[in-house]
A = this chain, B = another copy of it.
Amino acid sequence: MADTKLTAMSASKAEILDAAAEVFMRLGADTASIDDVARQLGSTKGRIYHHFPSKGVLLAEVCLRAADFVLQRVPPVITPDAAPEENLRQMILTHIPEVLRTLPYHKVIIQSYVGVQQKSTTALERELFAQIQLERKAYETLFRDVLQTGMQDGSFRAQNTSIALQSLLLLINAPVFWYHPRADEPDSFIRDLSAQLAEMALASLR
């Protein structure tokens, strides 16, 4: 799963992150133990604690990676001189397949959206979660900008920007909640799904 790397990372570390994302997704980040992650890897705790100083940092790096995935793909498809509608459509059509490609990571980061304030003990953990917060804000800003531009030129109807933005973001992440990859699903499924959600999102703004 892990291929593109924004920050250089050893293959072993990436493998651990994949396993952690998978296990955290299945059992929940709190419920899952480090031993569970180790079992998924076919190794023991020692390997994990050799690369990560604590469970909190491991969780933080999983979330950070989730943010990196989309932040790497979506900005390049934004073309400043295109119509807001077309920009937003392309952003959504890029966002959704990328999210579903790296689904476990996003299922984990969504857990942290639902309240659960970290009891970040160590300074490193606080720092990482602050960075996640920053990347999240940056990602939101991409959508906020295109939204505001569209409202000004009349592409989108005028309404409370924050509410519209939050709703939009949740809408394009909706598949994270219910999508399960299936063997008998046609290759075009994700493309069609993305297209339908893009239509719904755009329609909700017009």
Binding site for B on A (CB under 8 A): 25-28, 30-31, 107, 110-111, 113-117, 119, 159-160, 163-164, 166-167, 170-171, 174, 177-178, 192-193, 196-197, 199-201, 203-206
Contacts and interface: CB of A to CB of B under 8 A. Distances in A.
A42 to B, nearest CB: 22
A117 B26 CA distance: 7
Contacts of A163: 193, 196-197
Taken together, the copies of this chain in the complex come to 2
Given A107-B114, A166-B177, A196 B160 contact: yes
Given A26-B117, A163-B193, 13 more contacts: A27-B116, A28-B114, A30-B31, A31-B119, A107-B114, A111-B114, A160-B192, A166-B174, A170-B171, A170-B177, A203-B203, A203-B204, A203-B206
